Chains A and B, each alone.
Chain A
């Protein structure tokens, strides 16, 4: 009996709560973020605290998951209705999928028109799909070419490479002089990281992922990129272990002084310069990833992430308020040490650039040429197809032409 009354009272309270939202003073937002070095858990929590202090009555519940679990958790929560997330962090490759599946709310009307010009175009592509905007870019990231200044000097090389061809040549010199056994290290394990390096090169070869409106990987820049990857392996200038490495492995190898060149995200700059984590601190050079000779001066992959409002959220206005705060220039400038702001004018702000001038110089070039991975709702599957086929080439199991033809064919069958 008692329990029945309790239940009834709860139900009643719920009813009142829902029909008179004015009484609901406190709103709690559930937000999902990821564990990472740039905008670390502590930083994100501190940002949320500041937000809460400025907005009485609003509370933010933060959850942090590894990147590998982020997609799955967002997906699993879709069936969950109101107890799901209000604010979700999404990778640049997910908006087509999330938008077509109705996981995210269209926020085109919420974004101030005036902001369009103040933020990098590359950042906007992170949240754009189908002519609509699905969130605000938050983490603006791309892969740079890092080099070990000492090793280059030792080899008598005066300037870091401007093209991929030069990169291979310089690496050959360093290898021949016996400075380091395998001069270049990449993250070419069967994972998204491989596709990031590949995409960067396709961009650097001014290639394209579509032909006559269809996905295509067996011509032009795409083939040039894969051939280049394979050739550096055959010539012994790429560390063969790259084929099982992720970004963290690349950082470890480079920080241990076992490589002259490495492709990696922004975060490695400050970590490779930290003597506690690195044996090569203070010797780090950073430049935009090169392009192919005669095609491009530099290349970059769009590896950004955005914040969006989940379709099931009951508090879209509050959620947007939080997103606006998190992506504001003020917040981003304050935490610019490991993750650079999305706002153009920040890059001339001494408070942001101080101590990381080299990174900022590279960023100014790279962020302008960010190349996007194929935009398709079936991106996850397409990525699996590409990973498998490119790896087969790198492992010597298939020729570039065969593998990339197979990939194109499989992409055409995507359901």
Chain B
């Protein structure tokens, strides 16, 4: 095909997607962009607003509560995503071994993933319940814990316990992707490596990991985006408490716009969050591209 014609075909194929995205998101996005530079607040007659330029963003730079929320969200994202990747790969390696009932065991991976987030959150809240939860009961009955604990009421543990609930639900997805990628790694590579006397550790780093890193990184980026805007699980499990120790950026933006009705600064916070998430992802993508070029 001639370049011009190719170009036309390319755009033609993109048309349905672009039209849907533009039709639905263009107005809200422009609306948000405009709001971010105003002091708009929501009233019964619509927005009451005044143009205030960069004032919202200046306020954000100076907002220590928001900085704390960013710190918490980053902690949540880094810890849960990296644990999910490590666990996911380990489980994938395990389920790639030969053993009886493998198909059935593999199918189990779908279970946590299919449980709606809302249910997952309620389920873990009940498990962590300080008085009647099964976690306290289990840990004391097997002797790991002396007395019942308040898992979600203690700022020292609340965030980590939510992370644990998130990992349980989401690592099977990574495991599934890693498991699938493992099928593409040619078997003869391993045989050759064994002949050369490479041990299991070397084989993993030299053959297995390079074989699955491509698939893993897409999954990781998707999970990281999702984790950074995490909302539902905190909405159900802690609502930001205790003493703000689990208040994440999405919760922050939600409160600003919906609870305090400050549409203007809410929009500014939202844009800031998006920019941060974008920055984080692009740094990662750049690192990935560099790595690929090197190898």
Residues in chain A within 8 A of chain B (CB atoms):
71-72, 75-76, 78-79, 97, 101-104, 189-191, 240-241, 243-245, 249, 252-253, 256, 258, 311-312, 378, 380-381, 384, 387-388, 391-392, 395, 397, 415
Contact = CB atoms under 8 A, between A and B. Distances in A.
Q: Which 7 A-B pairs have the closest CB atoms?
A: A190-B241, A244-B153, A102-B44, A311-B44, A391-B243, A241-B130, A101-B43
A241 B239 contact: no
A380 B242 contact: no
A97 B44 CA distance: 11
Interface stretch (B6-14, B95-103, B252-260, B268-276): B252-260
Interface of B: 41-46, 129-132, 150, 152-155, 238-244, 255, 258-262
A174 B41 CA distance: 52
Contacts of A245: 153
A352 to B, nearest CB: 35
A384 B255 contact: yes
Contacts of B45: 102, 311
Contacts, number: 88
Contacts of A415: 262
Given A244-B242, A258-B131, A103 B44 contact: yes
Given A101-B42, A312-B44, A191 B239 contact: yes
Contact of B150 (A103, A241, A387, A388): A241
Nearest to B240: A190
B260 A380 contact: yes
B131 A243 contact: no
Given A101-B42, A102-B44, A241 B131 contact: yes
A240 B151 CA distance: 11
Given A76-B258, A78-B42, 17 more contacts: A71-B259, A78-B46, A79-B42, A79-B46, A101-B42, A190-B241, A190-B243, A240-B150, A240-B153, A241-B153, A249-B129, A252-B131, A252-B132, A258-B131, A391-B244, A395-B154, A397-B243
Nearest to B256: A381
B128 to A, nearest CB: 9
B150 A384 contact: no
Contacts of B255: 380, 384
A397 B243 CA distance: 9
B242 A190 contact: yes
A256 to B, nearest CB: 8
Given A79-B46, A252-B132, A395-B155, A243 B258 contact: no
A136 B155 CA distance: 41
Given A75-B258, A378-B260, A243 B242 contact: yes
